[in-house]
Chains A and B, each alone.
Chain A
Amino acid sequence: MTGPRPDLTPAHRAPVTSKESSVTTTHRRAATGGLAALTIGGLVLGAVSAPAATAVPEPRTAPLLAPYWTELDLTGDAQVTTADLDVVAAALGATSGDAGWDDVAAADADDDGTITVADLAAVSQRMVYDDGPFELVEASVLDMQAAMNAGTTTSVEITQEYLDRIAAYDATLVDPGAGGRALHSIITTSDVALEAAARADAVRASDGMTSLLLGVPVAVKDNYDTKDMPTTGGCGCWDANQTATDAAMVEGLRADGAVILAKASLDEFAFGFVSEHSAFQAAGTSTLVASPYVTSRTAGGSSGGTGAAIAANLAGLGLGTDTGGSIRVPSSYNQLVGVRPTVGLASRDGIIPLALSQDTGGPMARSVLDAAVALDAVAGVDAADPVTSRQEGRVPASYTQYLDAGALDGARIGYVPSMIGTNTTTRRLWEETRATLERLGATVVEVTPPTTWSPVLPNGFASVLNEGSGSTNEFKHDLDAYVAAHLAPQVEARSLAGIVESGRYVPSRRSTYVSRDAVTEETYQAWAGPEGSHTKVLAEGKELVTAMLDDADLDALVYPSANPYGTIGTNLRLSPNTGLPAVSVPIGQAVESDATVTGGGVNLELLGRDFDEGPLLGLAYALEQATHARTSPALYGPLG
């Protein structure tokens, strides 16, 4: 692990310009205090504490504060339950002229000045409960909780159904079309997932819904340590890596009651964008992961297994890792919401590293809501990953607080034209999305980034985007640290050289591993040490892009994460080369008239300031709710 890197002050900087000269002062990021009062209908109902925060921008309202809806909470406990229905029922018939109206006005959901049965229904609809038919395919975590709360299903049943879907679909060729392939998105399924699910059901029976993840099956990329499944990194050389502990982020999931269902396949050691792996395969062989939408195409990478599995509804949600695009590429290829958090939001301890200057772990999910819930579970300070000390006091009580369908109203969204690219599908979807953003009340601002900045970034923004990946110079160094701290003792290949000697890896990777094994400590220090060149670029890159956001008063800078089954220039480097957070959200698919890859998805990436995951998720949620752009892969519907 590397320690936190010092912020560096640029020697000089050039101003950022935008085509919209009149910058209003109606900025949505106005600082608030550490306490956010939830005010609904003019009645202060309660307070939610943010942990000693001074920098976390709190939302204006909090419709959902996981695990409960808080909108129309009448009892001040930040949740809507039958206790709130009792309040409404007692007030039925009250009108705005009554002396005690102020006490019950918040229950007047339809704002007609009278408490009626319609208001009772409106409050009731904020309860997490659903006794209707439950369909697992495309179910959100909220859908699952509502069905489990109503007794319509259980975690055991949901877990079994996902296991059944994996068994039926993952290694099966279901696409009759030319070039069709099986997904191969899962490396290992848990032998103890059903036991964990039964424990979750018992918790619900005794304590109720303790978390929106309670009993929800999760697939994590097979570079996260799990104490009940081996962690291969996608490499046959590490088939025996049954670690004694969980990765810190997996611990967070389990603490919230999630069921760790499976280990998802990946590009071996999280290197590339095709997700080719050799785990549990004969020496000299490897397997590619397919996208469930166009199975002749890659699911992307390196978190391609997570991408394919979550898109095909083989688990409730997933975790990926992203060094240079590995969450956002498969999220875009598989129509998922992917979050690459600020470096430092979540601990990387127990994750097989690629380049710790850039490595992050984050959620990949079918909805912004699911991603926000997962992010709640995995964010945290961990002494084993010192960079996480940066986030203290900068994490909200729940990212679900920001999920407001009106979040784009008044927002300022910037874009750099050159980042849109030339792909027909992507340009069409960008234009549609731009119109949607404006219809939702956002101001879309064309930004001209600085062309000069400092000796470290002589070409300004271009220097940020042109900085190469840390994986070349950091992999050996960081892998050695993982081996020392986590690799199971029974694994024989305990270094890059050992991996090459084992012969158990993706055959085409040999030269890469050999060359990276040759990187010296001096080279590493000159690159990623405290005064290393990469360290300086990343630190100044963060300052440059933050200045771009500040100078144009932007809430987010947006650009497409990818084209249909293809990347766009250097877009993916912006987040890793600045350490700034990015949320990638579906905006549509290629159609035949585009003459690209019909059915291929495109995501819009929203990049924000340090630890701005909450506001970014809010903006993404508003866009998602307006477009519902994600589709479900038709080849992987409900089992018969």
Chain B
Amino acid sequence: MTRPVPRRRLRPRAALVGGLALAAAALAAPAHAAPSVTAVTLGTPASVEVGAEITVTVAATGAVDLYAYDLAVAYDPARVALVDDSVVTPDGGFADVTDDDAGTVAVAHTRLGTSPGLEGDVTLATLTFTAVAAGDATFAVPAATLVGADSATVTLTDAATGTTTVTATTAPPTDEPTDGPSDPADGGGTPTPGDDGASDPSSSPTGSGSTGPLATTGASVAWFAGAALLAVVVGVGILLARRTAATR
């Protein structure tokens, strides 16, 4: 994996995930042999305490000719926040990361020059979040666009989901001053900005502990060139998000 990719921040785009959820499965029939993957998986720890880091891994199995890709990784901004410069993509390529701070991280990666596409089982992106409030933190890959070396493109929707249960901290309070209600280290279960308060940290199903075993919950779906439906809404969703970035 390469060194972390600095992220760029987007303005909030709350409609993105919802819009994507309406989309049908994959997309446009490519003119040539298209890139493909057997499955996209999303690995998350089962549970962490508030304040702990959550490593989310988006991986592909059975990748064929994967020259470039664009992933939308959805997260619950009420419970987790992306750690700056934490996103890592495969070695030897170029990557760009944008975070709208409202629940979507867009990760674009491309191989360079005439390099071949990625093949086999590959980790597409590793993202590190900080747990900021107790409750079930859901992660998802609502949309992904794959590009082959011949420029053929395949778009996937609802590619993978995962959940990490964020539990209230069990450590005794420290003497260190708290920074305020949004400080994930305060452990008090105070709702963070944007938290609707519905999740009760004290009701987290798991107790103390750091990162738990990865729970791979990705959908296992085979995507073949030309076999899926157009995902117009997905494409528009990603593009709307990108437009926001481009027009800042």
Residues of A participating in the B interface, judged by any CB pair closer than 8 Å: 82, 85-86, 89-95, 98-100, 104, 110, 114-118, 120-122, 124-132, 146, 149-150
Contacts and interface: CB of A to CB of B under 8 A. Distances in A.
A132 B246 contact: no
Contact of B151 (A98, A99, A121, A130): A121
Given A85-B94, A89-B96, A104-B246, A121 B114 contact: no
Residue among B96, B98, B151, B242 with max Cβ neighbours from chain A (10 Å): B242
B68 A117 contact: yes
Interface stretch (B104-112, B192-200, B214-222): B104-112
Contacts of A89: 94, 96, 108
Given A93-B244, A117-B68, 19 more contacts: A89-B94, A90-B246, A91-B246, A93-B245, A94-B247, A95-B239, A98-B243, A118-B153, A120-B94, A121-B67, A121-B68, A124-B68, A125-B67, A129-B115, A130-B113, A130-B114, A146-B113, A146-B114, A150-B113
B238 interface: yes
B247 A92 contact: no
B108 A118 contact: no
B51 to A, nearest CB: 32
A130 B243 contact: no
B116 interface: yes
B239 A114 contact: yes
A115 B113 contact: no
A125 B247 contact: no
Nearest to A132: B116
How large, as a class, is the contact surface on chain B? 20 to 34
Given A104-B246, A110-B151, A117 B115 contact: no
B110 A92 contact: no
B61 to A, nearest CB: 20
B92 interface: yes
Contacts of A149: 113
B147 interface: yes
Interface of B: 8, 67-70, 92, 94, 96, 98, 106, 108, 110-116, 145, 147, 149, 151, 153, 238-247
A193 to B, nearest CB: 27
Contacts of B145: 116-118
Nearest to A100: B247
Contacts of B106: 92
B242 A118 contact: no
Contacts of A98: 243, 246-247
Contacts of A85: 94, 96, 110
A92 B116 contact: no
Nearest to B97: A89
Nearest to B108: A117
B151 A124 contact: no
A117 B35 CA distance: 13
Contacts of A110: 151
Residue with the greatest number of chain B CB neighbours at <10 A, chosen from A98, A120, A150:
A120
A128 B113 contact: yes
A129 B112 contact: yes
A613 B245 CA distance: 47
Contacts of B240: 93
Contact of B113 (A86, A95, A104, A124): A124
A397 to B, nearest CB: 23
A89 to B, nearest CB: 4
B70 A92 contact: yes
B115 A92 contact: no
A125 B245 contact: no
Contacts of A150: 92, 112-113, 115
A92 B246 contact: yes
Contacts of B69: 117
17 contacts: A91-B246, A92-B96, A92-B242, A93-B238, A94-B246, A98-B243, A110-B151, A114-B239, A116-B242, A121-B68, A121-B111, A121-B151, A124-B94, A130-B113, A131-B92, A131-B116, A146-B114
Nearest to A91: B246
B214 to A, nearest CB: 27
A18 B43 CA distance: 73
A128 B8 CA distance: 27
A455 to B, nearest CB: 58
Given A94-B242, A95-B239, A104-B246, A122 B115 contact: no
- Nearest 4 pairs between A and B by C-beta? A93-B242, A129-B113, A89-B96, A121-B68
Given A92-B96, A93-B240, A93-B241, A121 B246 contact: no
Nearest to B145: A117
Contact of B70 (A95, A116, A129): A116
Nearest to B243: A93
Nearest to B112: A129
A127 to B, nearest CB: 4
A95 B243 contact: yes
- Residue from A93, A100, A110, A129 having most chain B Cβ neighbours under 10 A: A93
A132 B98 CA distance: 28
